[in-house]
Amino acid sequence: MAGPRRKDAYVSNPEIFKKLIGTIDYFIADNKDHLKKVDNWILGKENELHDIKLIIEKRLVEAENKLANCENALTLCQCRVEFDEEGNCYAPDCSSEENAVIRAGQQVNAANNALQQMMQILRYAREFSDEYAHKKGVFMQLLDNKLPFSQGILGKHDQIMQEYLSLGINGSAGSTGGSSSSSSINNTGGLTFISGTNTVLDGFNANALQNWSSIDHDSRAEVIKNLASHVANGLNIDIKNLDFEDLPENSCGYHRDGNIVLNSKYLHDPALLKEGVDTLVHEVRHRFQQLAMDDPTKYGITQKIADIWQWNYDSKNYVNPADDFDAYWYQPIEADAREFAEGIVNKLPL
């Protein structure tokens, strides 16, 4: 279960996850309040624009009625027959009516132009409103779905952290396979790790590691298998098989039912020796965890630790690095395997 590498190992503040969850709660509530205010502001402006449109439409109707009346008055004037003192017929003076029609027509044109401009403004406002509604929908997905999901992940982080913080163990732990020396469990920032690893390496010839660049691939494989055997014996466990395979570049290796597989890149690239040894010991530790869960007393761990490991190994609780790297990194079985491997690696000439 060795995933991608990362150097930092601890959360300095064990309350950080609760604080992050609270911060997200505040962020969600605060932004929903802001969205409600924006919604009300947009609704108010839409109502104002609609009221202005109604006023312009009313003025247009009034202007059109006035124009119709002026045109009727002009028609009546033009149809009227007038006579001079001598009884001659002449056309009446309708200039005032004609001017009235011109002014009324200008008022109609002005109202029409104002209405067209208002309709353009309303179209712009509708486009803005639609764009806002789309962006709001995306943002609401964040507030209603993504952030609450992240809170669930943070809650899982916090559960793992609090489980370890609640242990408060300073007594003996991992057995060293019959050796009188025992490892001790240290509690650092809520993450338990194994120290006192000298006896695990008793009898291992580390010279081959110092000459790593000068030996061939088969010899490197034998050295790695020899180291695995020493670590397994030190932990009083068995390893059924150790193989090297061409795994994806970002995959270090894995353990399954006593069988360990390492990425073959560790045999080909001398620069990856330390990472390869770290991965090997990490996977051996996973083998130890699985055996120790069934017989905590034999392997020198507390029942509480065994219960936590059992909970973490459940497929519903184990987090893969591809799904959530932080949750993967801090979960109990990975933190334990990582710190145990670091203790071994630090004792070797790498």
Instruction: Let me know: does 119 contact 57? Beta carbons within 8 Å.
Output: no
Residue 300, token pair as written in the block:
């020198």
pLDDT for 194-214, tens place per residue?
Answer: 434 456 777 788 888 888 999
**Which residue, 116, 136, 165, sits at the end of a domain?**
165
Q: How many CB atoms lie within 10 A of CB 130?
A: 10
The reply to whether 10 falls in a domain is no
pLDDT for 88-104, tens place per residue?
Answer: 888 889 999 999 999 99
pLDDT at position 167: 59
Q: Which residues contact 332 (CB under 8 A, 6 or more apart)?
A: 160, 163, 164, 192, 308, 309, 311, 312
Q: How far apart are CA 32 and CA 329, in angstroms?
A: 33
The reply to whether 3 falls in a domain is no
Nearest to 189 by CA among 308, 12, 7: 12
Q: How far apart are CA 312 and CA 322, in angstroms?
A: 17
On whether both 331 and 270 belong to a single domain, the answer is: yes
Nearest to 280 by CA among 330, 346, 344: 344
The reply to whether 250 falls in a domain is yes
Provide the residue type at 179 as one letter: S
On whether both 101 and 160 belong to a single domain, the answer is: yes
φ, ψ (nearest 5 deg) of residue 187: -105, 110
Instruction: Let me know: does 242 contact 224? Beta carbons within 8 Å.
Output: yes
pLDDT for 228-286, tens place per residue?
Answer: 999 999 899 999 999 999 999 888 999 999 999 999 999 999 999 999 999 999 999 99
pLDDT at position 88: 84
The reply to whether 11 falls in a domain is no
Provide the residue type at 291 as one letter: L
Q: How far is CA 41 from CA 31, 32, 129, in A?
A: 15, 14, 11
Nearest to 282 by CA among 329, 230, 336, 212: 336
Nearest to 189 by CA among 11, 330, 9: 11
Stretches where the chain sits below pLDDT 70 are 1-12, 164-199
pLDDT at position 8: 44
Domains of the chain: total: 2
On whether both 137 and 197 belong to a single domain, the answer is: no
The reply to whether 278 falls in a domain is yes
Instruction: Let me know: does 299 contact 175? Beta carbons within 8 Å.
Output: yes
Nearest to 161 by CA among 135, 188, 201, 134: 188
pLDDT at position 192: 36
pLDDT at position 261: 95
On whether both 222 and 98 belong to a single domain, the answer is: no
Dihedral of the CA atoms 320, 325, 188, 228 (nearest 10)?
50
pTM as predicted: 0.52
The reply to whether 172 falls in a domain is no
* β-strand pairing of 82-83 with 89-90: antiparallel
On whether both 158 and 265 belong to a single domain, the answer is: no
Instruction: Let me know: does 312 contact 337? Beta carbons within 8 Å.
Output: no
pLDDT at position 254: 92
On whether both 43 and 157 belong to a single domain, the answer is: yes
* Residues forming beta bridges with residue 4, ordered by sequence position: none
Please provide the DSSP assignment of 278-316 as one string. HHHHHHHHHHHHHHHHH-HHHHT--HHHHHHHHHHHSTT
Which structural domain, as residue segments, surrounds residue 82? Answer: 16-165
Residue 307, token pair as written in the block:
């219960």
On whether both 149 and 194 belong to a single domain, the answer is: no
> Residue 57 maps to which CATH number?
1.20.58
On whether both 130 and 240 belong to a single domain, the answer is: no
On whether both 189 and 159 belong to a single domain, the answer is: no
pLDDT at position 165: 67
Q: How far apart are CA 204 and CA 285, in angstroms?
A: 18
pLDDT at position 252: 92
pLDDT at position 173: 34
Q: How far apart are CA 89 and CA 87, in angstroms?
A: 6
